[in-house]
């Protein structure tokens, strides 16, 4: 199983394009993305945190709790049944794999996201987190990936309201009202009213590792 280090390298290779100039300086650190009210499709009313990785960006949708829990996805792994929260849909890239977002560096080549938050993609390391501290992580199925310059162009086009990334949002107990709360803070009435096309098609996926549910193995 690939480690998080290979996760980064594979993602960078898969998304390799020339860097676009738009808002490049603003995106050299993690950023909070809030879909404008006009945005439709997969990212309608979503909130994400995106982080720069090797010239590209990766991120996770924070407010898409699924109806499934780990115990359902991994019925033959008894510790998974101890996880209370549902699995969150993190994005369309590698959506059949589960990633653990945790406080503190757990080792196992975890990828630093921001502050004290890391994401783990190595299957054995995700298993250890589930077995040792099952409810101290948030589990995401998939992630969002942007090629170099792509996120800057989306922001320039008005798809996203942006703000300072807050690591606590990764672990917010109830994210159902998060988008509405943030869009009001950003001044929803003044955001674009055009009919936005969907930014990305659902699906796709880069083979970057992660813990795969039994049904997909």
Q: Helix or strand or coil: residue 68?
A: coil
Q: What is the total count of domains within the chain?
A: 1
Distances from the Cα of 200 to the Cαs of 39, 111, 122, 140, 196, in angstroms?
Answer: 11, 24, 26, 19, 12
pLDDT at 107: 85
Q: Which pLDDT score is estimated for 30?
A: 97
Q: Range of 185's domain?
A: 4-216
Pairing of strands 117-120, 88-89: unpaired
The pTM of this model reads 0.79
Question: Cα–Cα distance between 2 and 100 in angstroms, integer?
Answer: 15
What's the distance, CA 152 to chain centroid? 17
- What is the structure's pLDDT at 26? 78
Q: What are phi and psi of 100, to 5 degrees?
A: -105, 125
Q: Give the per-residue pLDDT at 15.
A: 39
What the block records as the tokens of 43 is 């990212």
**What pLDDT shows up at residue 191?**
60
Report the 10 Å Cβ neighbour count for 204: 14
Render pLDDT for 120-142 as a digit per residue (tens, 0 to 9). 999 999 999 999 999 999 999 99
CA distances from 189 to 37, 51, 154, 201 (A): 9, 28, 20, 27
- CA–CA separation, 104 vs 102, rounded Å? 6
The pLDDT value recorded for residue 192 is: 55
What Rg value do the Cα atoms of the chain yield, rounded?
17
Three-class SS state of 172: coil
- CATH number of the domain within which 17 lies: 3.40.1740.10
Which tens digit of pLDDT belongs to each residue from 162-184? 999 999 999 999 999 999 999 99
**The predicted structure's pLDDT at residue 198:** 45
Give the pLDDT score at 187.
78
Q: Which residues of the chain have pLDDT under 50?
A: 1-25, 194-217
* Cα angle, residue 204 at apex, residues 32 and 74 outer, rounded to 5°: 85
């Amino acid at each position: 199983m690939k480690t998080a280090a290979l996760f980064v390298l594979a993602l960078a290779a898969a998304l390799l394009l020339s860097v676009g100039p738009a808002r490049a300086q603003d995106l050299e650190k993690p950023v909070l993305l809030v879909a404008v009210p006009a945005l439709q499709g997969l990212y309608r009313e979503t909130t994400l945190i995106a982080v720069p990785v090797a010239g590209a960006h990766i991120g996770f949708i924070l407010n898409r709790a699924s109806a499934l829990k780990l115990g359902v996805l991994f019925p033959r792994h008894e510790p998974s049944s101890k996880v209370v929260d549902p699995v969150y849909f993190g994005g369309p890239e590698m959506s059949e794999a589960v990633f653990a977002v945790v406080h503190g560096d757990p080792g196992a080549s975890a990828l630093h996201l921001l502050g004290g938050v890391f994401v783990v993609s190595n299957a054995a390391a995700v298993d250890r987190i589930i077995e040792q501290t099952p409810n101290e992580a948030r589990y995401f199925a998939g992630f969002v990936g942007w090629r170099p310059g792509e996120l800057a162009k989306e922001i320039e086009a008005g798809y996203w309201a942006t703000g300072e990334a807050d690591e606590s949002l990764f672990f917010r107990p109830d994210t159902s009202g998060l988008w509405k709360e943030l869009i009001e803070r950003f001044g929803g009435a003044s955001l674009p009213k055009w009919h936005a096309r969907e930014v990305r098609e659902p699906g796709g996926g880069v083979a970057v590792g992660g813990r795969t549910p039994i049904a997909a193995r």
